[in-house]
Amino acid sequence: MTLTAHSFALTQLSEEENLFYTTVRQFAEEKIAPLVRSMDDEQQLAPGLVEQLFELGLMGIEIPEELGGAGGSFFDSVLAIEALSTVDPGVAVLVDVHNTLVVNALLCWGTEEQRRKWLPRLAADTAGAYALSEAGSGSDAFALQTRAEAVAGGYRLDGRKLWISGAREAGLFIVFATLDPAAGYKGITAFLVEKGAPGFTVGRKEDKLGIRASSTCELILDGCQVPEANLLGKPGKGYKIAMETLNEGRIGIGAQMLGLAEGAWGHAVRYAKERRQFGKPIAEFQAVQFALAEMATEIEAAKLMVYNAARLKDAGQPFVREAAMTKYFVPGVAERVASQCVEVFGGNGFVRDSPAEKYYRDAKVGAIYEGTSNMQLATIAKQVLGR
């Protein structure tokens, strides 16, 4: 059987899931692929692309149909992220954060009024972003310095957030701040902050190694006024909201890195069949065959981990351990596959005229954001040791 980029474990999908994946993959290859190089160079999404993501229904996958969404599953979100990432992980991260973090947080923690106000907009035209990290709180996410103060009619937020994915595109932000620093993590509270709120500014955009189409910016909160109705959950419950949503988000990052690996592998196979040395395609050399076979095997293992974690989440079963394992393992697969893709391309893989070097750059962030690899190992150790 000839290996193709579609040969990995799709038999695990139902007919509807397979059709959904194929539809998103076709959209990515037809509409996004021609824009990848220019978006990477210009460090921004192409005009109109976000609107196309909304039109295709990719920004409201789990939002109930009565609120304007598709009424799909978490697994559907994972499939969409995987399919988009085969072409451009920088586009996929916007869909990932929007669905797995922002929409899920509102579904789980929002009031009825908040869900009815925001979910139709998140499904139709408003991208969401998730603002937890700060300069002094990366892996130690809850050493945050952003402060919230109760005032007449709501809250006042002061502080800065860093490395916020999709900040330029987003219209709604889930912002974490502490009401009572003395209470430690029990003082952390989540707020819904609209772009354009008084005292809220999207600041400097980072110049990144990879996923350059996705904006990553600081947020400046200078006396930002947030109405009481925009409190997400109860005061002091921000820690719980963040932990639960990030557990889901880590599966999304696994899907992003899985799609990246599949995309890089597909390009490596095609190039190996086309590139001739010593009178024949390099795909006929055993060393290249073995490299492609090893890449395919790692991708298959990664896919099973991602799919298993997502299925557990949808089934209401415990999945924290599996999510952490996925977040730890799959970015490593993506890095190795992307690196090997560069080597299959040889000198052509080291220049920007080929797709190999971009996959290689994009892969690195998978081991960093939404919980570093070391933090995942710490979580896994606690889970397996019962601590």
- Can you count the helices (H) and strands (E) in the chain? 12, 10
Asked if residue 2 has pLDDT above 90, the reply is no
What would the pLDDT profile of 320-357 be if each residue is shown by its tens digit?
999 999 999 999 999 999 999 999 999 999 999 999 99
Question: Which structure tokens are listed for 243?
Answer: 């932990």
355-360: long-range contacts (C-beta < 8 A, 24 or more apart)? 355/36, 355/263, 355/264, 355/267, 356/264, 356/267, 356/268, 358/36, 358/40, 358/210, 359/260, 359/263, 359/264, 359/267, 360/264
The predicted model gives 222-242 an average pLDDT of 96
Is residue 21 within 8 Å of residue 10, measured between CB atoms? yes
Q: Which domains does the chain have, with CATH numbers?
A: 10-126 (1.10.540.10), 129-236 (2.40.110.10), 240-385 (1.20.140.10)
Is residue 88 within 8 Å of residue 39, measured between CB atoms? yes
Output phi, psi for 149, to 5 deg.
-130, 130
The predicted model gives 300-325 an average pLDDT of 97
Active-site annotation, residues: 370
Residues 260, 266: Cα–Cα separation, whole Å: 10
Q: Which carries the bigger pLDDT value, residue 383 or residue 139?
A: 383
Residue type, 354: S
Of 215, 161, 216, 163, nearest to 193 (Cα)? Answer: 161
Asked if residue 125 has pLDDT above 60, the reply is yes
Q: Hunting for tokens 């999404």 — which residue is that? A: 45
The predicted model gives 73-85 an average pLDDT of 98
pLDDT band of residue 143 (cuts 50, 70, 90) is confident
Q: What pLDDT does residue 47 have?
A: 96
Q: What pLDDT does residue 304 have?
A: 96
Residues 294, 82: Cα–Cα separation, whole Å: 20
* Strand 170-178 with 127-131, pairing: parallel
Residues 122, 292: Cα–Cα separation, whole Å: 40
Question: Which structure tokens are listed for 197?
Answer: 């709120």
* Strand 280-281 with 276-277, pairing: antiparallel
Using DSSP's 3-state secondary structure scheme, residue 174 falls into strand
Asked if residue 6 has pLDDT above 60, the reply is no
What would the pLDDT profile of 101-112 be if each residue is shown by its tens digit?
999 999 999 999
Q: What pLDDT does residue 3 have?
A: 36
Q: Which carries the bigger pLDDT value, residue 138 or residue 237?
A: 237
Q: What pLDDT does residue 42 have?
A: 97
Task: Report the run of H or E that residue 25 belongs to, with start and end.
Answer: helix 15-27
Q: How far is residue 254 from each of residues 32, 96, 102, 294, 307, measured CA to CA in Å? A: 21, 10, 17, 19, 9
Percentage of the chain with pLDDT > 70?
97
The predicted model gives 7-31 an average pLDDT of 85
Residues, the chain, total? 387
What would the pLDDT profile of 187-208 be if each residue is shown by its tens digit?
999 999 999 999 999 999 999 9
pLDDT band of residue 169 (cuts 50, 70, 90) is very high
pTM confidence score: 0.95
* Strand 147-151 with 276-277, pairing: unpaired
Asked if residue 51 has pLDDT above 50, the reply is yes
Q: What pLDDT does residue 186 have?
A: 92
Q: What pLDDT does residue 11 have?
A: 44
**Lowest pLDDT segment from 134-138, 274-278, 352-356:** 134-138
Residues 77, 96: Cα–Cα separation, whole Å: 8
The predicted model gives 52-67 an average pLDDT of 98
Q: Average per-residue pLDDT in the chain?
A: 95
Is residue 303 within 8 Å of residue 258, measured between CB atoms? yes
